Amino acid sequence: MEFHVTGRDDGCRARTGRLKLRSGTVQTPAFMPVGSRATVRGLTPPQLRECGVQMLLANAYHLALRPGADVVAEAGGLHAFMAWDGPILTDSGGYQVFSLAAHRELTDEGVRFRSPVDGAELFLGPRECMMAQNLLGADVAMVLDQCPPYPCERHLAEAAVERTLRWSAACKDCHAREDQALFGIVQGSVFDDLRRGSARRTVEIGFDGYAIGGVSVGEEERLRRHVVALTAPLLPADRPRYLMGVGFPLDVLAAVADGVDLFDCVAPTRMGRNATAFTPHGRLRLRNSAFRHDQEPVQEGCGCLCCRLYSRAALNHFFRVGEMLGPILLSIHNLAFYARLMAHARDAISHNRYPRFRGEFAAGYMTGEKER
Dihedral, CA atoms, 16, 18, 19, 24, nearest 10 degrees? 130
pLDDT at residue number 75: 98
User: What is the secondary structure of 260-297 as a DSSP string?
Assistant: --EEEESHHHHHHHTTEEEETTEEEETTSGGGTT--S-
264 a catalytic residue: yes
Q: Any idea what DSSP says for residue 34?
A: B
Catalytic residue among 91, 208, 251, 258: 91
Instruction: Round to whole Å and give the CA distance between 198 and 165.
Output: 8
258 a catalytic residue: no
pLDDT at residue number 338: 98
* Paired strand residues for 279: 282
pLDDT at residue number 94: 81
Q: Please check whether residue 136 is in contact with residue 82, taking contact to mean a CB–CB distance below 8 angstroms.
A: no
The tens digit of pLDDT for each residue in 165-217 reads 999 999 999 999 999 999 999 999 999 999 999 999 999 999 999 999 999 99
Q: What's the sign of the alpha-carbon dihedral 230, 245, 14, 199? A: positive
pLDDT at residue number 264: 98
Question: Average pLDDT of 347-368?
Answer: 97
CB neighbour class for 274 (10 Å; exposed up to 12, middle 13-18, buried from 19):
middle
Catalytic residue among 139, 145, 251, 264: 264
Containing 107, the helix (H) or strand (E) segment is strand 104-107
Q: Is the pTM of this model over 0.95?
A: yes
Instruction: Round to whole Å and give the CA distance between 115 and 62.
Output: 10
- Give the domain ranges of the chain: 2-265, 272-371
pLDDT at residue number 280: 97
Q: What is the mean pLDDT of the chain?
A: 96
Instruction: Round to whole Å and give the CA distance between 158 and 75.
Output: 41
Assigned fold of 2-265: TIM Barrel (3.20.20)
Residue 233 has pLDDT above 80, yes or no: yes
Contacts of 367 (CB under 8 A, 6+ apart): 281, 282
Contacts of 364 (CB under 8 A, 6+ apart): 280, 281
pLDDT at residue number 126: 97
pLDDT at residue number 269: 98
Radius of gyration over every alpha carbon of the chain, rounded to an integer in angstroms: 20
